[in-house]
Structure 1
């Protein structure tokens, strides 16, 4: 994939941004360097902070009120990266509705909503306005997971029969799961492994789990609508300095593994190592495992976290979809519905 720099696009979207926090400063605003974005305004409840971000990222105007910004700027699209209300609701849900009603397409950071009721309300506004709403499900835009999806579509892999995902996240105690504030951490992070599970394997039909009370770790057993099975190990208590996650998908005589988001190994079908008679573990070249991982010595785009974590690809997909007048293919409200379905089952 060849990357186009922002200034090389012949046409750019007039975009506004709601939110001036640390996450957006590190990961979303910088992604605009590689997307067809003309940043026209930044809004934050802290006007000084919005003005600082506007100077830093080249927006001519800053606002403290998003209604005023939408009325004055009439942006084509709005990016929203905000936090939670004091009651534990997702601020971005209502903000997205306001942007849609003002005629702007919306890219919003996960989580999209705090539950199905809020998602249904947002869906209704999106349907009414006919505008695009995309959620930043970065995991399914990473080069590694996109390659896994391509491998799963290859008949040589066979139908995906099972998946195992590990991700370090605690699940609160049962008595706390009806408390929206207590569930913020779980809601915020379940979007990552759940996005991978549902993107690669489809909707979940059945879920059961065991929960460990000291750390909040859990291990879940999943049955997908396809008939495939899976496990989700929410490995709370794991070492902070260790690789965070692992994904393994089994096909028919083949499987694929992603470690740490950047080390991908495809164990291909056709290896023959007869038990008791094989003197070498080296498989024939035509069926030997394939392995990919980036180097981190050169100043290449692929070894920037904005790319291998999926931030630039998801922002570019949103912008190019809006410019082309086409619906987004990933990060849709339908994708979010599958994730929130899992979240509400855990609750």
Structure 2
């Protein structure tokens, strides 16, 4: 069986969660870890089955000749090291966010084009089985064109300007909101043409967002987002021109409202639906989508195809995040040209 030779730069908390999924991906040969702290690189190599451990990524690439390199750390690292790895002849898998700004993300896109290599960003929501199933249902002719999108997302943090950003708003958008934004583009299948946002921020870093979207082929969408909450809450839904609706809760439970509501007896609560739950025997470690995004990355590259959630996708995601901030200050819609 042909396998993708993958090396991993970064062995911190999020990197370790991703590496824990690698033994489940038979199409990946995990050749090496790399971290500035030798004990982290060596420890993760032992725990997750890598053959070698390094503290210098250039030395690792020269010695191991991996097909691809995963980079997981701060966004400044994703930007700088990602571009360097492309220049050294490797495909790249970057943890989100790919950089601090959309302009820096475009630099990675351009570097990939110059190198002839491909890249992917780990926006794992779109790879979760329930969201992939929702997209498959939306692709059926009976569903019709997607007309509407809705998302509710709450997360405990960040509640400050992480990664050198200047506010809890920017920290939360980069660290968390990039996920529902990318998933929205995936589920709707259209590009965002206009953004309107209102943001509330408390002194302790708690934030709340009401965001409206208009898409380039007629769909509209809304997001209600909350940072600094005491819970993690995820809900997404899409509505088709046929009136059918797909709802996903916690990226684990899907409900498909396929038939017309009951008329003449009962009520709307009697609307027939089809449900799916990923169950307790999910094979991945951590959040739904981690193992699937790694599997997709390997499968696509082995077939010489561009993986989904590409660098170009990430650039569009970052443009939308910046449009949310830009819209909030004057309370005016922000148009996005394509």
TM range (shorter): 0.7 to 0.9
Task: Determine the structure 1 residue equivalent to 2:251.
Answer: 261
CA distance 1:272–1:321, change in 2 (3 Å): closer
Q: Which deviates more from structure 2 when the two are superposed, residues 49-58 or residues 95-104?
A: 49-58
Task: Determine the structure 2 residue equivalent to 1:306.
Answer: 285
1:172 Cα deviation (Å)?
Answer: 7.9
1:294 Cα deviation (Å)?
Answer: 3.0
Unaligned runs of 5+ in 2: 326-338
Task: Determine the structure 1 residue equivalent to 2:173.
Answer: 186
Q: Is the Cα–Cα contact under 8 Å of residues 171 and 216 in structure 1 kept in the other structure?
A: no
Task: Determine the structure 2 residue equivalent to 1:128.
Answer: 114
Is 1:28 aligned with 2:23?
no
- Root-mean-square deviation (CA, aligned residues, Å) is 2.5
For residues 289-322 of structure 1, the C-alpha deviation after alignment (integer angstroms, 9 at most, x for no partner) is: 11111332xxx3xx24438711121111111222
Query: For 2:134 and 2:207, how far apart are their aligned partners in 1?
Result: 29
Q: Is the Cα–Cα contact under 8 Å of residues 261 and 268 in structure 2 kept in the other structure?
A: no
Query: For 1:180 and 1:326, how far apart are their aligned partners in 2?
Result: 35
CA distance 1:130–1:232, change in 2 (3 Å): same
Task: Determine the structure 2 residue equivalent to 1:5.
Answer: none
Task: Determine the structure 2 residue equivalent to 1:6.
Answer: none
TM-score by length of 1: 0.83
Query: For 2:118 and 2:147, how far apart are their aligned partners in 1?
Result: 33
Unaligned runs of 5+ in 1: 1-9, 85-89
Query: For 2:5 and 2:252, how far apart are their aligned partners in 1?
Result: 33
Q: Is the Cα–Cα contact under 8 Å of residues 307 and 313 in structure 1 kept in the other structure?
A: no
Match for 1:208 among 189, 192, 196? 196
Alignment map for 1:30-69 (pairs within 5 Å): 30-69=21-60
Query: For 2:130 and 2:48, how far apart are their aligned partners in 1?
Result: 29
Query: For 1:294 and 1:247, how far apart are their aligned partners in 2?
Result: 16
Query: For 2:286 and 2:145, how far apart are their aligned partners in 1?
Result: 29
1:13 Cα deviation (Å)?
Answer: 2.1
Is 1:331 aligned with 2:309?
yes
CA distance 1:109–1:222, change in 2 (3 Å): same
Task: Determine the structure 2 residue equivalent to 1:278.
Answer: 265
Query: For 2:79 and 2:258, how far apart are their aligned partners in 1?
Result: 43
Bigger Rg, which one: 1
For residues 42-96 of structure 1, the C-alpha deviation after alignment (integer angstroms, 9 at most, x for no partner) is: 1101112111112222223211111111222221111111125xxxxx2111111
Match for 1:289 among 262, 273, 291? 273
Q: Is the Cα–Cα contact under 8 Å of residues 262 and 308 in structure 1 kept in the other structure?
A: no
Query: For 2:159 and 2:11, how far apart are their aligned partners in 1?
Result: 29
TM-score by length of 2: 0.86
Query: For 1:335 and 1:77, how far apart are their aligned partners in 2?
Result: 19
Match for 1:17 among 8, 33, 36? 8
Task: Determine the structure 2 residue equivalent to 1:244.
Answer: 233
1:257 Cα deviation (Å)?
Answer: 0.9
Match for 1:319 among 298, 309, 314? 298
Query: For 1:185 and 1:213, how far apart are their aligned partners in 2?
Result: 11
Task: Determine the structure 1 residue equivalent to 2:83.
Answer: 97
Query: Helix, strand or coil: the match of 2:181?
Result: helix
Is 1:156 aligned with 2:142?
yes
Equivalenced residue count is 316
Query: Helix, strand or coil: the match of 2:275?
Result: strand
1:280 Cα deviation (Å)?
Answer: 7.3
Query: For 1:203 and 1:16, how far apart are their aligned partners in 2?
Result: 33
Structure with the higher fraction of residues in strand conformation: 2
